[in-house]
Structure 1
Amino acid sequence: MDVASTALEASSSSPPSSSTEHWKYDVFLSFRGIDTRQTFTDHLYWTLKDNGVNAYIDENELRRGENIPDELKHAIERSRISVIVFSKRYADSTWCLEELEKIMECRRARSGQMVLPVFYNVDPTHVRKQTGSFAQAFRRHEKRFREDKDKVQRWRYAFTEAANLAGANLRNTDGYEGKFIRKIVDHITRKLNNTCLDVATNQIGIESRVQEVSNYLNVGGPDDVRIIGILGMVGTGKTAVAKAIFNKFHRKFEGKSFLSKVRERDMVKLQNQLLCDILKPAKKEVCSIAEGTKEIKKRLSSIRALVIIDDVDCQKKLDELAIKRDSFGPGSRIIITTTNAHFLRILEVDDTYFPPAMSNEEALQLLCCRAFTERHPSDEEYLELSRKVVEYCGGLPLALEVLGSYLCKRTKREWRSALRKLKRKPHGEIHEKLKISYDGLIDDEVQAIFLDICCFFIGMKKDHVMAILDGCDFDPLLGIGELHDRCLVSVDEGNNLMMHDLLRDMGREIVREKSPGIKGKRSRLWDPEDVTDVLITNSGTERIEGVTLDLQGSHEPSFSAEALKNMQGLRLLKLKGVKFTGDCKHLSKRLRWLCWPGFPPEAIPEDFNQPNIVDIDLSHSRIQVWKDSDMVQCNLNQIINSFLQVF
């Protein structure tokens, strides 16, 4: 058949070696210099080079002697693929015959070495049987080496063996050498996996995720241009899925490009990579963003391409890369991985895929592969410790991989110590990677809303929280909307605000880092030990904006109401099972949310007045009325939960 995919796929069917350490070259070119050095082989060599293939070609046209030198032997031995260009006078050269014999010897002896015969204006049958243009050459060799008939017989055998391999035949094509060379190079790059991306071996759970995205892509379907989003919080495996998709489908496209870490990279370099990946030797180097955008629209609009834009953080970058349907040819597929749903809405993507959290079994396998290089440890105690780490990670691949690598080769005692530490403080590498999304929020108000939710509002009704935040002079509609778009919060079926535990821990660590040593100078206090310490030592300051403490069911210490005196920046206060001595006349006038079920009546001063409160819950409190009727005039905005409930 023609030099097309199926014929070429059949050649050199031996699987590549699992180890590539002994390969020095990708391709060794064997050819008769007089026939093709300055024509076909030269064009093939440079096309291979332009496609990133490390090809070896013997530059010496004046070789002397009967035997090929060690230099060429070593080059053949250390090449993944040997391409034999059979031309009419190939067999005239004893040098070529020695090369061919060595090539076939290496193919037989070394697993993973491949051979691709190219029949350049010769009939494969003539090569196989040494007839036609090759018959006279072999007759001369038999006369010349009549005392060493085995030598000629080995050459004949090598000829026959090579010709029996499926290869590339110029006579079976339309005769255009350029197309012929391109098909050969495409086949070679596929065999070498030069365009495949590095991914972890034995990826856990990747196949099902790839299949779901494949359904959205519909590769080989209609010739429309489809744009697919892969959306999720940092660390959910979006890039791993995108790489697996690229490796699976890139051969089906005329052009392909994977632009990684777009968030971090220079735009002109990204534009040049996109143009280079798809246009190859025909690329044009651009020097400015405007020029790059124009060139992408101009040069790629007729090419059927697979383009993956990984880790996008702003719409401007998508615009500058001309990521639009009319920028690429019919049948193109574009995949965008991001933590921001807003970009995907603007692009009006065809579908959006949300990588799910790993199941407990998948998570355990991934952790153990990193920690023990096997999917399940044989030691029962290590297995139980692994399950506790999995529970902490909440199905997040990033955390599982980082902690698995961190715990690798550590003792059980070190594992237990690490688990205790994680309860107090998140792992540094995980924290920094998750914090990227927080740092990318549009302004400090949205960041403040995020920190409030981390510390106080997880699991509460969204509308309830919005009412409280609105009273804090925030814009919760936009703020929570931004957090939702950024995959930092979610809303469950009951309309409750939810968040991954590791995002919660990341937000709380941001608060703690502002004042690691002095708890009373932190903006928010949520840890029972920290709050208790601040109240006992009366070390609170005006920097504290929110406090929550739940001592129900525990030994209930009593605190002095004076501990609240210095917290004049307090906006949010939630207490359960907490007792104070003295009255609460020092409560901050900035208070917007007071949630204090079981509020002790003796703690209320006669002139108690909180004019800025918008949400109050004093359920289960033995309170009848405030003497100061001004409280009735306070700005109760939306929700009063069991206000002044009497038992």
Structure 2
Amino acid sequence: MGRYEATFINKIVKEILVDVLQHTYLNVAKYPVGIRSCAKEVEKILGVGANGRCVVGIWGTSGIGKTTIAKAVYNAIALKFQGSCFLADVRETSIQHGGLLQLQKTLLSKILCDTELKVVDVHEGISLMKKLLRKKKILLILDDVDELKQLNNWVEVDWFGEGSRVIITTKDRGLLESYGVKLIYKVQKLEDDKGLELLSLNAFGRKEPPVDYLSLARHAIAYAQGLPLALNLIGSHLRNKSIDRWQAILDSYDSYEGEPYRGIQRILRKSYDAWDYVVQQVFLDIACFFKGEDKDYVLEILRSSKLNVPQDCMEVLVENAIITIDKDNRILMHDLLEKMGKHIVYEESPTEPGKRSRLWFHEDVYNVLTENRGTKKIRGIVVKLPEPDVIPLNAESFLQMVNLEIFINRNARFSGHVDYLSNDLRWIELDGRDFQYLGFNIPQKHTVVFNLPSNYNPKHLVTFDIPNSGIRQLKGFKVCIFILK
């Protein structure tokens, strides 16, 4: 074989290898239940055959399947582009491994088929992308973006050729809107039938569980609430287990220990750790106290606190797919996110409830209020007993709670009096059927005279709410807003 033939063959082999490397398929999921239909919807939004360039966002909470859908889309359409690149874990890479510069190097290397390019800084990377990719029809997927700087000033769809498409997966809808993304696909949780199929495939290797496991499988489905991450981890954890073990494991999910709980929480916790302090505190208040409550009511409470909660705090959590607001204006949150929030507070002091920032569990509340075990750590207390009962208050129960801002009693009755109340109290809400425990005299049917501790100065009190009291007139506390029902 002559030199010309050898050169020609080598060229063909190289082109074939480049084509294979360029279009290597990504591993989507072991059991891609429900993924294909979602990918089809994203493909429709992308309009790959149309002219122009566009950016599409895939948005949803942690563990909902954003990355899996993006991989499925990549596999389905990558061959229609001159160059394609799936940049995984943008959030992690931008923090470690060379940051945005490393992302640029990876992008150029993949699009240009492993061509070695020496890129000194981000600015040089931008120049190279504009120069080398401006005539190429590119598919770029940026997975798990959580900050605008991971998008701004280092990659733009307009730097690529006609027909290029960029897909961004993120937990933050606000980030997409700030970047100017108009086309956003919201990932929905799996319906129960698909959830059962995914759980069963992981646990039994078949689409339906055995009949004798069906009831327990439905229990697991209720726990996961359509979150694919949870269904995969739970199903894998229950694989090859007896019915008795299934029952024991599912019962253990109410605790904060063991797998797959820890695995699920590790993923969800990444979202929490990325927020600023105020957003974290609002999330914890909702998880511990206010899930299912009216949004405007909760916002009024939160904005009365000394956290300086912004007006748009709810929107931030909605945009981050942490809460949703239903048609009745109620705040909804996935049970696993609620559990994560409560666990974060629990971890503040696992053995001493009085040293936590929030108290909501009836046994912890009873312990603190009857044994005088409160501390300055406590910011809020919501009393809600499984069955209405009487709590014998220790007179000094509130003595150490100098930073208490929220005190809400849903259904408890108290005996005893209080010698001290925090001057930081912003919101007091009592069961009107029994409020003499705070030292209130009721000399006649329609008048209440307040005889609270002499050292109490309600200078920060915003609302004193006593529903079901039948009260028509109040004397004292002129700084308060009284809600009479």
Q: Same fold (TM over 0.5)?
A: yes
Partner of 1:334: 166
Distance in 1 (alpha carbons) for counterparts of 2:167 and 2:292: 33
Q: Tell me whether 1:252 sits opposite 2:80 in the alignment.
A: yes
Rounded Cα–Cα distance in structure 2 between residues aligned with 1:565 and 1:578: 20
1:40 and 2:40 are equivalent in the alignment: no
Following TM superposition, by how much is the alpha carbon of 1:196 offset from its aligned partner in structure 2, in angstroms? 0.8
The aligned counterpart of 2:483 is: 641
Q: Are the structure 2 counterparts of residues 301 and 362 from structure 1 closer, same or farther at C-alpha, using a change threshold of 3 Å?
A: same
Aligned residue runs from structure 1 range 187-586, under 5 A: 189=20, 195-221=24-50, 223-265=51-93, 266-280=99-113, 282=115, 284-322=117-155, 324-380=156-212, 382-425=213-256, 427-441=261-275, 443-473=276-306, 474-551=308-385, 553-586=387-420
Q: Give distance in 1, aligned partners of 2:217 and 2:386.
A: 32
Identity of aligned residues (%): 35
Q: In structure 2, do the counterparts of structure 1 residues 557 and 414 end up closer, same or farther at CA, with 3 Å as the change threshold?
A: farther
Q: Give, in whole Å, the separation in 1 of the partners of 2:3 and 2:386.
A: 92
Q: Which moved more, 1:261-270 or 1:192-201?
A: 192-201
Aligned partners of 2:411 and 2:296: how far apart in 1?
26
Q: Give the counterpart of 2:451 among 607, 632, 641.
A: 607
- 1:114-170 deviations in whole A, cap 9, x for unaligned? xxxxxxxxxxxxxxxxxxxxxxxxxxxxxxxxxxxxxxxxxxxxxxxxxxxxxxxxx
Q: For 1:617, what is the secondary structure of its paired residue?
A: strand
- Give a deviation string over 1:12-45, Cα, whole Å, max 9, x none: xxxxxxxxxxxxxxxxxxxxx3375531112233
Q: CA deviation at 1:552?
A: 6.3
Hey, which of these two has a bigger chunk of helix by percent? 1
Q: 1:591: which partner in 2?
A: 425
Q: Distance in 1 between matches of 2:468 and 2:480?
A: 22
Amino acid of the residue matched to residue 271 of structure 1?
A: Q
Using CA pairs below 8 Å that are at least 6 residues apart, which structure has the higher relative contact order?
Answer: 2
Per the TM alignment, residue 569 of structure 1 is displaced from its structure 2 partner at its CA by 1.7
What letter matches 1:231 in structure 2? Answer: W
* Cα deviations by residue, 1:618-639 (Å, 9 ceiling, x for unpaired): 0122657666x2x1x2243xxx
1:618 aligns with 2:460: no
**Number of matched residues?**
462
Aligned 1:92-171 pairs, distance under 5 A:
none
Question: For the residues of structure 2 that align with 1:455 and 1:428, how far apart are their CA atoms?
Answer: 19
- Structure 2 counterpart of 1:616, which letter? F
Distance 1:314 1:566 in 2: 41
TM-score, with normalisation over the residues of structure 1? 0.68
Larger radius of gyration: 1
User: Tell me, what secondary structure is at the counterpart of 1:586?
Assistant: coil
CA RMSD of aligned residues (A): 2.2
Q: Which amino acid aligns with 1:332?
A: S
Over 3 Å counting, the alpha-carbon distance change for 1:597 and 1:641 in structure 2 is same
Query: Which residue identity does 1:234 align to in structure 2?
Result: S
Is there any run of 5+ residues in structure 2 with no aligned partner, and where? 94-98, 440-449
Q: How far 1:535 moved relative to its partner? A: 2.6
**2-structure distance, mates of 1:281, 1:235:** 32
Could you tell me how far apart the structure 2 residues matched to 1:201 and 1:438 are? 28
SS at 2:167 equivalent: strand
Q: Is the 8 A contact 1:225 1:331 kept in 2?
A: yes
The amino acid of 1:479's aligned partner reads C
In structure 2, the residue corresponding to 1:580 is in which secondary structure?
A: strand
Contact 1:225 1:333 (8 Å CA) reproduced: yes
Q: Partner of 2:447 in structure 1? A: none
Letter in 1 for 2:225: G
**Gaps in structure 1 of 5+ consecutive residues:** 1-32, 52-185
Hey, what's the Cα distance between the residues in 2 that align with 1:330 and 1:512? 54
Equivalent residue of 1:357, what SS?
coil
1:265-292: CA deviation from partner (whole Å, max 9, x where unpaired): 1322221111111122556332322222
Q: Alpha-carbon deviations, 1:218-251, whole Å to 9, x = none?
A: 1112x11011000111111000100000000001
**Inter-partner Cα distance in structure 2 for 1:434 and 1:213:** 24
Structure 1's 587 and 459: CA in aligned 2 closer, same or farther, altered over 3 A? same
AA aligned to 1:312 is V
Q: Work out the CA distance in 2 between the residues paired with 1:331 and 1:564.
A: 66
What residue number does 1:130 align with? none
Amino acid at match of 1:195: T
Displacement after TM superposition at 1:440 (Å):
0.6
For 2:443, the equivalent position in structure 1 comes to none
1:560 touches 1:580 (CA, 8 Å); kept in 2?
no
